[in-house]
Amino acid sequence: MISVTKDFKMIDGGVCAAAGFTANGCNCGLNKDKNKNDLGMVFSKTLCNAAAVYTTNKVKGAPIIVTKRHLEATGGKTHGFIVNSKNANTCNADGEEKAQKMCELAADVLGVAADEIVVASTGVIGQKLPIEPIASHVSELAAGLSPDNHGKAANAIMTTDTVQKEVAVEFEIGGIICHMGGMAKGSGMIHPNMATTLNFVTTDAAVSSEMLQKALSDIVKITYNCLSIDGDTSTNDCVLLLANGLAGNAEINADGEDYETFKAALYTVMMNMTRMLAKDGEGATKLLECTCFGAPDLDTAIIVAKSVIRSPLLKCAMFGEDANWGRILCAIGYAEADFDIDKVDVDIASAKGTISVCKNGSGVDFSEEKAKEVLGEDEIYIDINLNQGNTAAKAWGCDLTYDYVKINGDYRT
């Protein structure tokens, strides 16, 4: 139903699955837990075409500003990025200076120009970023760059995440095998809008800057932008897509079959990372996947699916395994889109089966016993059929639990 879906071979390697990309991560001391990395780097000797999508929050982290500036200066080319967790380097008077310094430190040890490196940070807002721990560890970080160390980089970007998030696929362009892989972080403050939390995708496919950006914008709209953990749009959201062309395919520089294949691979990587982010939402015990079918257009489908996924009341009901479908109808009803509520059907499903709870906008009888069984699973599907068109979209989220409150009641300490 999502037209870009294809079956690809899933592979290992995360952000280093594509040829020519190396990575590393270490603990430089920003995080007091020495077993948790807090500084990461991803590098391609071959200069990459880069596409990016950033947060729409007016408060923009200093790294976002510096990354934008560097990509503008180089016409969208980069060798890679340096990234830290534990401190977002946002709302600090010296933020841009520090973000620029991170790029310079990395560029120096990598032997490239400072504006050929971009930067990202995630963590607490409004605390000054100490540069010394980064300066004293950047040589070690670069020395350890290897295709095998993708996991160390994925670990470095985690904040309240409980699992590392890496996905990679193999795909074919004109008979040439290409690879694409990504890593993501994010657990709270997630309600992406034209961008998302930190997500990095690399590929060895050759793709023009223009088509790379087009594919990224299209796929962000139906993956990361359809994710909501708590309705809070972060100040540091950023998706970076780097293509170094080492696979040797003829460059994709126009619409057509090759572009569609590339876009489908990108959807697979980003959709799977989105699901991982939703499932690892702060305090979450359940992944919620809401599909809105039968919509008159894509925007309506997205708006309805996201409205349901965002509802705190529904999220609590799912935590309580309570089939309180009135809350689904309520959230469909306040979605800011134009449709007829009296045609709407709703099913709730999981690996244990499906219950139909609403037909034509009114409740239908269902077995509470069966509902308990269905809702006992840890992946819950909410299927909404508007019955007024042929378009569909998905949104992803999670339940709202005691642990979300606990984690966020005292985040800074």
Catalytic residue among 55, 196, 235, 274: 196
**CA–CA distance from 50 to each of 76, 256, 413 (Å)?**
5, 21, 36
The one-letter amino acid code at 234 reads S
Angle at 188 between CA 70 and CA 134, to 5 degrees: 45
**Whether residue 196 lies in the annotated active site:** yes
Q: Scanning residues 256 to 315, which ones bind its own copies (CB under 8 A)?
A: 310-313
Contact 276, 287 (CB under 8 A): no
- The residue written with tokens 């709270």 in the block is 188
What character string, x for contact with its own copies (CB under 8 A) and - otherwise, covers 131-170? ----------------------------------------
Residue 91 or 114: the one with the smaller Cβ distance to its own copies is: 91
Bridge partners (DSSP) listed for residue 292: 384, 393
Q: Torsion over CA of 146, 151, 153 and 157, rounded to 10 degrees?
A: 180
Q: How far is the CB of 84 from its own copies (least distance, A)?
A: 16
Q: Contact between 369 and its own copies (CB under 8 A)?
A: no
Q: Contact between 358 and its own copies (CB under 8 A)?
A: yes
Residue 2 or 405: the one with the smaller Cβ distance to its own copies is: 405
Looking from the CA of 129 toward its CB, the CA atoms found within 13 Å total 35
What character string, x for contact with its own copies (CB under 8 A) and - otherwise, covers 333-352? xxx---x-x-----------
Q: Scanning residues 371 to 400, which ones bind its own copies (CB under 8 A)?
A: 400
Q: Contact between 194 and its own copies (CB under 8 A)?
A: no
Q: Contact between 319 and its own copies (CB under 8 A)?
A: yes
In the structure encoding, which two tokens stand for residue 104, read together? 């310079």
Q: Scanning residues 44 to 103, which ones bind its own copies (CB under 8 A)?
A: 56-60, 88, 90-93
Residue 180 or 304: the one with the smaller Cβ distance to its own copies is: 304
Binding piece for its own copies, criterion CB under 8 A, among 40-48, 179-187, 273-281, 329-337: 329-337
Q: Contact between 402 and its own copies (CB under 8 A)?
A: yes
Residue 48 or 226: the one with the smaller Cβ distance to its own copies is: 226
Select from 233, 188, 240 the least CA-distant residue to 60. Answer: 233
Q: How far is CA 228 from the centre of its chain?
A: 11
Binding piece for its own copies, criterion CB under 8 A, among 1-9, 34-42, 78-86, 228-236: 228-236
Select from 275, 205, 276 the least CA-distant residue to 247. Answer: 205
Residue 259, number of CB atoms within 10 A of its CB: 18
Residue 174 or 333: the one with the smaller Cβ distance to its own copies is: 333
Q: Please, is 36 exposed, middle or buried when counting C-beta atoms within 10 Å of its C-beta (0-12, 13-18, 19+)?
A: middle
Q: Is 116 left (phi over 0), alpha (psi -120 to 50) or beta?
A: alpha
Q: Which of 143, 146, 250, 406 binds its own copies (CB under 8 A)?
A: 406
Q: Contact between 255 and its own copies (CB under 8 A)?
A: no
What is the SS3 assignment for 304?
Answer: helix
The one-letter amino acid code at 72 reads E
Enumerate binding residues for its own copies (CB under 8 A). 56-60, 88, 90-93, 124-127, 188-189, 193, 230-235, 310-313, 316-317, 319-320, 322, 324-327, 329-335, 339, 341, 358, 361-363, 400-402, 404-413
Residues classed as catalytic: 196
